[in-house]
Amino acid sequence: MGQAQQLSHVYPRGSRVDDRGRIEVGGCDTTELAREFGTPAYVVVEDDIRARAHAFVSAFGAHTDAFDVIFASKAFPCTAVYRLLWEEGIGCDVAGPGELTQALAAGVDPARIYLHGNAKTHAEMAQALAAGVGYVIVDNLRDLDLLEELAGSRPGAAPQAAFLRVAPGVSPDTHPAISTGGPNTKFGFDLAHAPAALERAAASPAIDLRGIHLHIGSQILDTAPFRTALEAVAPLAAGLPEINFGGGLGVAYGAHDEPPSIEAYVAAKVAAVRDLLGADVRMVDEPGRALVANSTVTLYEVQSVKRNVDTYVAVDGGMSDNLRPMLYNARYEARISGRTGAGTRCHVVGKHCESGDILVRDAELADPQPGDILVTPGTGAYGHAMANTYNGALRPPVIFVSGGNARVVVRRETHADLLLRDVG
Ligand SMILES: Cc1ncc(COP(=O)(O)O)c(C=O)c1O
């Protein structure tokens, strides 16, 4: 009998390899989970999300009482995740009415919901205001028109609390597709146009302008750009009571990735706000990926092992359950549950009709065989969120695990679901 091993920090906290080489997450054997719930499946370790949520709240709490941590829910929008984070004291931002509907269904207090969007429709803004969202993030002049029309016509209602989103012109070292605050972006007002928008918002009786919002991008592994970005918007933010500093903290996708800790990220942002805006300013932070990415592993079953020039290990999912490798060349790890040791250099590929449907390039797997259960860690952010039905794939279930127990919180899609909208 071998020795049980810990896994790298890419896996959910508390994960281990048991003495048969099986990967255990949340006290559950992934091979058994695959048998019980089928594959592909997202397996989420509840306690991992709770621990990260707690770390964010206590890291801010160590510096100030005037803060709000909200979940950038686009990273993992499902009712059970909203509810779990809400239980940990974390509200959310929503990109539109779909996420809003899920957040409300989970019991999130609308006063702790922040409405985003760079193309909000009239109906969407009306729905969000009717639901009582606490804050609207104003992205463009049309948002100001809509707020003036809709918030301004609510009889006896208080003005709508809002932040003005400003792109500080700072591009951190991340993939261009997830860099959002550069000098030429579709998000928010650039520095040239922000002052007029700010003046208009501040003067509007329909709007209670709380502060500036900035989000420079995602998967950021160095805290320095946050201060640079705040420096750029500080002249606009000065004198306003709050600042919404977006999200952005990067995570480990590989065993050698060492992102800043939650505590270091929070300390850097708090120090920047204190130094540049003053100690009394209330801070809002919108972490997405850092709350959920490492909480989750995806389970697949190996279907074929093919030796062409390279070796291709094909699994029963792919770009329909994890689009990030296709979108950003994102790198993942993979391991076979029930077998240890490096062995075969191969590419883990999906089942879809695209040569680019490669989940893990240059993986090292221990003698992969059809029927093996393959585990990819770090799939909690933007996995379920971007899942799709390409090639008629059925979107996987989300399984919560804790203390050795497992429960389905999103069921697997069915072929009947695929036919539901085909009405002609
Ligand atoms: C406005 C906004 N806030 C927060 C986030 C969350 O970013 P992250 O997942 O990197 O924390 C995003 C992500 O795209 C975003 O667009």
pLDDT in tens, 46-69: 999 999 999 999 999 999 999 999
pLDDT at 172: 72
pLDDT at 87: 98
Cα 217 to middle of ligand 1, angstroms:
7
pLDDT at 68: 97
Q: 305 with 368: CB under 8 angstroms? A: yes
The kind and range of the H/E element at 52 are: helix 46-61
CA distance 121 to 192: 25
What is the position in ligand 1's atom list of the atom closest to the CA of 137? 1
pLDDT at 6: 77
Ligand 1: residues with CB < 6 A are: 72, 75, 116, 180, 215, 218, 246-249, 286-290
Which tokens hold the place of 307? 């030796």
Question: pLDDT of 137-177, one tens digit each?
Answer: 999 999 999 999 999 888 788 999 999 999 998 777 777 77
Query: How many percent of the chain have pLDDT more than 90?
Result: 91
What is the position in ligand 1's atom list of the atom closest to the CA of 248? 10
Q: 89-93, 156-160, 299-303: which range is least confident on average? A: 156-160
Q: Residues near 199 by Cβ (< 8 Å), separated by ≥ 6?
A: none
User: On the CB side of 367, how many CA atoms lie within 13 Å of its CA?
Assistant: 4
Question: pLDDT of 212-269, one tens digit each?
Answer: 999 999 999 999 999 999 999 999 999 999 999 999 999 999 999 999 999 999 999 9
Backbone phi, then psi, for 191, in 5-degree steps?
A: -65, -25
Residue 326: pLDDT band with limits 50, 70, 90:
very high
Asked whether the whole model's pTM tops 0.85, one would answer yes
Q: 49 with 291: CB under 8 angstroms? A: yes
Q: 130-139, 183-192, 329-338: which range is least confident on average? A: 183-192
pLDDT at 3: 54
List the catalytic residue out of 28, 78, 346, 353: 353
Could you give all domains of the chain from N- to C-terminal order, each with its CATH number?
5-45+293-419 (2.40.37.10), 47-292 (3.20.20.10)
The kind and range of the H/E element at 114 are: strand 113-115
Cα 255 to middle of ligand 1, angstroms:
23
Cα 74 to middle of ligand 1, angstroms:
8
Ligand 1 pocket test, candidate residues 69, 71, 74, most atoms within 8 A of CB: 74
pLDDT at 345: 96
Q: What is the mean pLDDT of the chain?
A: 95
pLDDT at 1: 43
b/e code 84-113 from CB counts within 10 Å (16+ = b):
bbbebebbbbbbbbebbebbbebebebebb
Q: Please confirm, yes or no, whether 353 is among the known catalytic residues.
A: yes
Question: pLDDT of 1-31, one tens digit each?
Answer: 445 677 999 999 999 999 999 999 999 999 9
Instruction: Report how far apart, in Å, the C-alpha atoms of 90 and of each of 76, 86, 264, 265, 285 are.
Output: 14, 5, 20, 17, 10
